[in-house]
Structure 1
Amino acid sequence: MTPSLHPTPATHLPLTINDSIVLQSMLGVGAYGSVYKATDSHTGQTYAVKCLSKTGLDSRQRAFQTHESTLHSLVSGHPNVATLHKIVEEDDCLYMVLDCGVEGDLFYTITERGGFVGNDVAIKSIFGQIASAVLHCHSKGVFHRDLKPENIIMFGQSVKLVDFGLATTEQVSSDFGCGSTFYLSPECQGGYVEMVKSYDSAANDVWSLGVILINLVFGRNPWKQACPRDETFSAYILNNDFLQTILPMSTELNEIIKSVFCLNPRKRIPLSDLAKRVQACKQFTTPEFSASFASSSNASAATATIGQSGVAGGTCFVSSAQREDKDQGDSGVDVRSRA
């Protein structure tokens, strides 16, 4: 969820919880909670603390909060999942004490720091780490359902997955619309050709990872929403080589993308196979684009060149404006350091 430009702190800062963890400044605010930068007064360790207010909640809503912390705890410990160090429960709030990154999220890296366009080695490294985190979650029976760059925090050359507010343990779910518009699979929206009663949670995560892969390679989204009213997605359904006509995509990457953006989730590539194929991909972009990128002064210039090939009303850049377009129902809260 986009941090508010004028967040209203739920508490007066600084505030000490658990005797030693001092909340110092607000990092972000979402639909269901706020995130603070905090320091352990005993060790000096910096944390991100997610605060979930219990005020005015009924028993079902409180159970939902506990569900998030339980699932995050279940998958914690993987090097590419933000560690949930402890849970502090008080009468009015539930506090989740997490790793705190100092370099912002993957969204910020893509949009404001030049991203990874033209750097196939870095793309493979970042995507491989994300895939490893999601594979770990799936092995624990946890399906994220809100995979997007904003929920992936940078730690140097490493990344860590955060925000399990929409996660589920249901392999087959009927909870439609979970996630952010750009990353939703068609079946998570109720179906494309015909209405569906449920969807495969793992296959839904794979779809979101396909959009993230496009983000990494081209610095933009393939479409605004995978639904009939989206012009670019409709063009893709009519011709599944369409993205290759508007993006400088190598034939090898095009085949990978088609295996991800498959309308039938039963035929969609499994995550383990996707991770292997991305690592084995010899080149993500066309030779012509790679040559032009090598001669350009920076990634922004190359990304601007990509944008010129878009179609009206279709593909859109991954840009700061994307945060304004997010559904107001998103539960995600950025866990980052803005020091």
Structure 2
Amino acid sequence: MEKYEKIRVVGRGAYGTVHLCRRLSDKKYVIIKQIPVEQMTKEERQAALNEVKVLSMLSHPNIIEYYENFLEDKALMIVMEYAEGGTLLDYLHQRNNRLLEEEEILRFFAQMLLSLQHVHSKQILHRDLKTQNILLDKKREVVKIGDFGISKVLSSKSKAYTVVGTPCYISPELCEGKPYNQKSDIWALGCVLYELASLKRAFEAANLPALILKIMRGTFAPISEHYSEELRSLILSMLHLDPAKRPDIKSIMAQPIVINALMNLHTDLGKIPCTKTQRPLSSAMPTTTRSRLSGRGSSASIRDVLNNKPQALSSVFFWGGGIPTAVKLPLPTSDTQVTEVSTGRTQKAAVTKNGRLFVWESPAVGTESMIPGAIENAIPAFIPRYLEGQSAVAIQHVSCGDLFTACLTDRGILMTFGSGASGCLGHGNFNDVIQAKIVEALLGYEVVQVSCGASHVLAVTNENEVFAWGRGDNGRLGLGNQESYTKPMPVPVPDDLHPCSVHCGVDCSMLLTLDNKLLCCGSNRYNKCCLDEIHADGICTKSVEEVHTFNQVTSPPIGNNLIKGVAMGTSHTAVVSVDGQCFTFGANQFGQLGYQTDFNSKQGQMVKALQLYRIVRVACGDTFTVAVSEDGEIFSWGKSARGRLGRSDEDTMTPKKVIFQGEDVFTVVSISCSHGNTLVATKPTHGTGNSLD
């Protein structure tokens, strides 16, 4: 293994462990399957060596490439190509029941046909074709068939007898114990094609006998009428109970629907991507719609058709940075469902329900106009763009700092990209990173949440461990010093407290524990971390400038309440208690605390103007605060310059509602503030029957 660097374990199976590794000679990622042959039976060892034999015989762009094998520590190590796009099964699961277009199905299927043709030409049966063993490249456009562990090399055009493979994909002749040949692979490929068209398996049952019975009967639900009759017929022919009546690969390739897919596949190789020309409305409409409109011809008729479009699953609004009222941002597709948003000084990011991360790009966002006479309220063209190189992972959480972003996969793997200033990316250096890169120091942990400040980051694991890195002055990292770190460092926390969420401010940090306690570290200027010792009567007995380790907040009223949410601005903080009350503390020169304060008072208070509402979320910008009630109402207060409050108001310490012009009832899914910007994700409230579009 001296030629390779292990990155992480990506899978475990009956025969061993699968590692993602980096080849040191060219920094290329590879997969190494580690098979402990010492502990195996003779048959199991033979199966492992068989995979090496089969892989070495195959060379095809649609088959996982074999590089080498060697023995180490009593284990057989098989080195092969890494498919960054994950498995076809994962891809289908992430569709969230949205059917694939027939063109995409046939593009995948054509590549499977070509790879299986190559396999059969070598007198090899795969014997375990399934969506779990079909892999995709980084862009999820190229198919790679893998896992030849139980493949059989036929000495002639004879038949095999051993019952192997995944039960849901085994052929009827296998169920009966009859000999089989390449036609069983055709059956399994037919099952995969059915799965591509329906997003579910052709044959499933609660137990093996029931499954065998279903396969023997050959009955399965028809695919959607959305697809062509030719595709339905192809699936039926490949899943014929009689193997003799199933088409072979050459016959399948000769079918017109497949010929077209094969031609498109070859002509698309090496093509240069270009922007699609928008078709006129008349040509984009279905024929039946055009015929209905042709006799009426009025603009109202076209409007009636357009108004019948399905209800949007999500909307995202933005204000600030010179935009005085909430504007709706474009989404990548009409059915995008946003689960979380985050905004930094210049960037805006969102995570979708199916695990995609995208950002909105605009050259004008967050910059002061330098052109005399420029219109202050001009809205820049925000353009959504998916994160590159993310096709192999599902993102579930995102946090934006100043010029950098951290995102978290559903497997607890942390990735960062953007500016490497102050070591904020956690890669052990100050280098900028364009595409999201794994924070390798945390690969041995399952990270559950991450928070980015202006120039530092905190992360918490599923075992309540906290890590910090980036800029360290004021003690904001909680490491007991003011040093800066370019890699994640473990943060000491009292044994009796178990952090479950982390929150970064500009020059301070906060933790929330499982029992709803609040811990703070860093700069306590204006008592924004609530660390001054203040009695119930409001008298401050000890003023704390900064602390370098996390300290529990005990001063009233924060220390007397159970806290479930927290947000930090430049010089103030807002928290939400378990019973839905909003408290603020820190500087109040722009009214960002939501109430009048005495000049000498540093004690936090409840925002009484909101006490009749149950607050569920808070967010803080530089000099303003935003709160969301359980009923979906959004309130803002503080400094109003450059549209910070989402209204054309003057500075106000009184919380006022943010109005979304022309919008119906919705539920707030996520909210984020940074500097002078606010980003809000919503979804339609069920039962209203109203559309957000």
TM-score w.r.t. the length of structure 1 is 0.69
Q: 1:60 to 1:219 in 2, by over 3 A?
A: closer
Q: 1:250 to 1:124 in 2, by over 3 A?
A: closer
Q: Percent identity?
A: 24
Query: How far apart are residue 41 of structure 1 and its match?
Result: 1.7
| One-letter identity of the residue aligned with 1:163 | D
| Count of residue pairs brought into register by the alignment | 265
| One-letter identity of the residue aligned with 1:199 | Y
Q: Distance in 2 between matches of 1:61 and 1:182?
A: 23
Deviates more, 1:268-277 or 1:45-54: 268-277
Q: Which residue of 1 aligns with 2:52?
A: 69
| One-letter identity of the residue aligned with 1:132 | L
Q: Distance in 1 between matches of 2:258 and 2:194?
A: 15
Q: Does 1:147 align with 2:147?
A: no
Q: Distance in 2 between matches of 1:251 and 1:103?
A: 30
Q: Does 1:175 align with 2:159?
A: no
| One-letter identity of the residue aligned with 1:27 | V
Query: How far apart are residue 234 of structure 1 and its match?
Result: 6.7
More strand by share: 2
Q: Distance in 2 between matches of 1:122 and 1:24?
A: 32
Per-residue CA deviations over 1:263-297 (Å, capped at 9, x if unaligned) read: 11112111222244342589xxxxx9xx9xxx667
Q: Distance in 2 between matches of 1:198 and 1:35?
A: 32
Q: Distance in 2 between matches of 1:197 and 1:217?
A: 29
Per-residue CA deviations over 1:231-263 (Å, capped at 9, x if unaligned) read: 7657655xxxx743x743543223222211111
Task: Map 1:36-185 onto structure 2 (within 5 A).
Answer: 36-75=19-58, 77-90=59-72, 92-113=74-95, 117-155=99-137, 156=139, 157-170=141-154, 171-176=158-163, 178-185=164-171
Deviates more, 1:138-147 or 1:269-278: 269-278
Per-residue CA deviations over 1:117-145 (Å, capped at 9, x if unaligned) read: 24122111111111111110000111101
8 Å Cα contact 2:10/2:20 also seen in 1: yes
Per-residue CA deviations over 1:48-77 (Å, capped at 9, x if unaligned) read: 1111111223444323211111011111x2
Match of 1:204 among 148, 160, 184: 184
SS in 1 for 2:105: helix
Q: Distance in 2 between matches of 1:41 and 1:236?
A: 50
| One-letter identity of the residue aligned with 2:78 | M
List alignment gaps of at least 5 residues for structure 1.
1-16, 191-195, 283-287, 302-335
Q: Distance in 1 between matches of 2:25 and 2:96?
A: 38
| One-letter identity of the residue aligned with 2:8 | S
| One-letter identity of the residue aligned with 2:188 | S
Q: 1:198 to 1:266 in 2, by over 3 A?
A: same
| One-letter identity of the residue aligned with 2:230 | E
8 Å Cα contact 2:9/2:20 also seen in 1: yes
Q: Which residue of 2 aligns with 1:187?
A: 173
| One-letter identity of the residue aligned with 1:198 | P
Q: Which residue of 2 aligns with 1:251?
A: 229
8 Å Cα contact 2:175/2:216 also seen in 1: no
Q: Distance in 1 between matches of 2:127 and 2:86?
A: 21
Q: Which residue of 1 aligns with 2:419?
A: none
List alignment gaps of at least 5 residues for structure 2.
262-285, 290-308, 314-332, 336-391, 394-412, 414-437, 439-693
Q: Which residue of 1 aligns with 2:245?
A: 267
8 Å Cα contact 1:33/1:52 also seen in 2: yes
Q: Distance in 2 between matches of 1:82 and 1:266?
A: 30
Q: Does 1:216 align with 2:202?
A: no
Q: 1:236 to 1:175 in 2, by over 3 A?
A: closer
Query: How far apart are residue 116 of structure 1 and its match?
Result: 7.6
8 Å Cα contact 1:115/1:216 also seen in 2: no
TM-score w.r.t. the length of structure 2 is 0.35
Q: Distance in 2 between matches of 1:46 and 1:115?
A: 32
Q: 1:236 to 1:46 in 2, by over 3 A?
A: closer
Deviates more, 1:131-140 or 1:82-91: 82-91
